[in-house]
């Protein structure tokens, strides 16, 4: 049986926004803009797909789930929860350079450098995005604070068009062939979206007794682990050597807290929450160039504005592979439920943009 819980006395949720920009006309056809954009949200909806779980205890090594604890309510299969305790923060710098149409040419470039942080990016569901983790820990919001599921750190977008001029010496059929050509491009270069390292999904290794029973591993330091990914390596994108199963700090802690899954040799403590946080990994970025060729054929005998436009559009003309972040939880699980390394950990198996595609069309404008 499934039930729903909603905070009975929610505080007023609101978002404050700020925007400051400075524009300057460099030349009659060239303008620049610098802008700051920011927002802060308080008491935002915090949705979990299953809030019915065993609550952990606080230890010197962090949160630990007692193997003898029970769920909050064993009478229900799951309890969807809505708590108005989420927070969000966004800050961004925007730079723009725009050249208005002159001599048949126009160009605009925009660069955004920002960061979006929240305690949950949930909307209609706890896992609204493909990289979302469902049913975050609602009992301590500090555990959930991290990059938003939709955060993209840096984005550069350049677009331009060029109306190719026709030599005045052309006439007759030659002028018809050479006249009316137009080129266009859209270049997009951006960072990837974040995702969360997990382990043991589906087998409840941490003994949370939650239907969304994933667990956090430990993040390790040391040589090579300042960054946690291998850009350009779809077969080993995540540095799995930089993660480990949560371990007890010493033998006394292991024995006193009824650690599960390990022994006094390795001190692995499956029911101890790992120190790896939400969305600490960043997926592959995007590099994409779309190109277009138009041939305008104006037929003034029909009307002054009648135009038969032949269009050839090439999407991802460079045929550059743009990989999506590892799927959750299939490729975000670093370890299996028994603590062994997952063979699919960190694999990139999907793309965000299709391979090169060419589209032809005729457009009637009147």
pLDDT (tens digit, 9 = 90+) per residue, 132-161? Answer: 888 888 999 999 999 999 999 999 999 999
What's the CA gap between 117 and 96, in Å, rounded?
A: 24
pLDDT of 192 > 90? The answer is yes
Which tokens belong to 267? Answer: 């001190």
Position with higher pLDDT, 312 vs 2: 312
Distances (CA, A) of 345 to 85, 206, 235, 335, 356: 33, 19, 9, 7, 28
pLDDT value of residue 77? 79
Q: Give the total residue count for the chain.
A: 366
Helix, strand, coil in percent for the chain, rounding step 5:
5, 45, 50
pLDDT of 247 > 80? The answer is yes
pLDDT value of residue 206? 87
pLDDT (tens digit per residue) in 89-124:
999 999 999 998 888 899 999 999 999 999 999 776
Which tokens belong to 186? Answer: 């859209």
pLDDT value of residue 258? 93
pLDDT (tens digit per residue) in 261-305:
999 999 999 999 999 999 999 999 999 999 999 999 988 888 888
pLDDT value of residue 126? 65
pLDDT of 207 > 90? The answer is no
The pLDDT confidence band at residue 203, using thresholds 50, 70 and 90, is confident
Which tokens belong to 41? Answer: 């949200």
The pLDDT confidence band at residue 169, using thresholds 50, 70 and 90, is low
pLDDT value of residue 313? 97
pLDDT value of residue 275? 95
Q: Are 245 and 271 in contact (CB under 8 A)?
A: no
Instruction: For tokens 């033998």, name the residue.
Output: 251
pLDDT value of residue 168? 72
DSSP helix/strand/coil, 251 = helix
CA angle 137, 276, 324 (to 5 degrees): 90
pLDDT value of residue 1? 64
pLDDT (tens digit per residue) in 31-69:
999 999 999 999 999 988 888 999 999 999 999 999 999
Q: Pick the closest to residue 130 from 82, 194, 87, 83 (CA basis).
A: 194
Helix (H) / strand (E) containing 253: helix 251-256
What's the CA gap between 251 and 264, in Å, rounded?
A: 6
Other CB atoms within a 10 A radius of the CB of residue 106 amount to: 17
Helix (H) / strand (E) containing 252: helix 251-256
- Domains of the chain, by residue range, sit at 2-365
Average pLDDT, the chain: 92
DSSP 114-177: EEEEES---SSSTT-STTPPSS--TT-GGGT-EE-TT--SEEEEEEEEEE----TT--HHHHHH
Q: What percent of the chain has pLDDT over 70?
A: 98
Q: What is the mean pLDDT of residues 249-257?
A: 95
């Amino acid at each position: 049986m499934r039930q729903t819980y909603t905070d009975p006395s929610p505080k007023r949720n609101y978002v404050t926004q700020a925007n400051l920009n400075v524009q300057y006309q460099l030349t009659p056809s060239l303008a620049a803009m610098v802008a700051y954009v920011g927002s802060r949200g308080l008491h935002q909806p915090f949705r979990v797909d299953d809030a019915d779980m065993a609550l952990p205890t606080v230890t010197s090594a962090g949160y630990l789930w007692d193997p003898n604890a029970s769920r909050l309510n064993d009478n229900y299969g799951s309890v969807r929860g809505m708590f108005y305790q989420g927070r969000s923060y966004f800050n961004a710098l925007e730079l723009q350079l725009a050249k208005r149409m002159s001599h048949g040419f126009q160009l605009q470039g925009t660069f955004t450098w920002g960061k979006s942080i929240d305690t949950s990016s949930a909307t209609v569901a706890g896992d609204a995005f493909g990289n979302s983790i469902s049913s975050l820990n609602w009992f301590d919001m500090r555990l959930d604070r991290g990059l938003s599921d939709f955060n993209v750190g840096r984005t550069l977008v350049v677009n331009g068009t060029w109306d190719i001029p026709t030599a005045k010496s052309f006439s007759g059929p030659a002028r018809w062939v050479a006249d009316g050509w137009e080129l266009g491009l859209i270049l997009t270069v951006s960072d990837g979206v974040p995702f969360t390292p997990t382990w043991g999904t589906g087998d409840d290794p941490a003994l949370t007794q939650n239907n969304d029973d994933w667990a956090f591993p430990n993040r390790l330091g040391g040589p090579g682990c300042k960054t946690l990914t291998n850009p350009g390596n779809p077969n080993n994108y995540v540095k799995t050597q930089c993660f480990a199963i949560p371990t007890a700090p010493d033998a006394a802690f292991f024995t006193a807290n009824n650690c599960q899954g390990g022994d006094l040799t390795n001190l692995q403590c499956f029911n101890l929450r790992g120190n790896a946080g939400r969305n600490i990994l960043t997926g592959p970025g995007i590099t994409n160039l779309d190109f277009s060729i138009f041939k305008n054929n104006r037929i003034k005998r029909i009307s002054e504005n009648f135009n038969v436009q032949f269009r050839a559009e090439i999407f991802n003309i460079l045929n550059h592979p743009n990989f999506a972040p590892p799927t959750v939880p299939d490729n975000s699980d670093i370890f299996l439920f028994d603590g062994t390394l997952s063979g699919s950990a960190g694999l990139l198996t999907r793309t965000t943009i299709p391979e090169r595609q060419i589209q032809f069309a005729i457009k009637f404008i009147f």
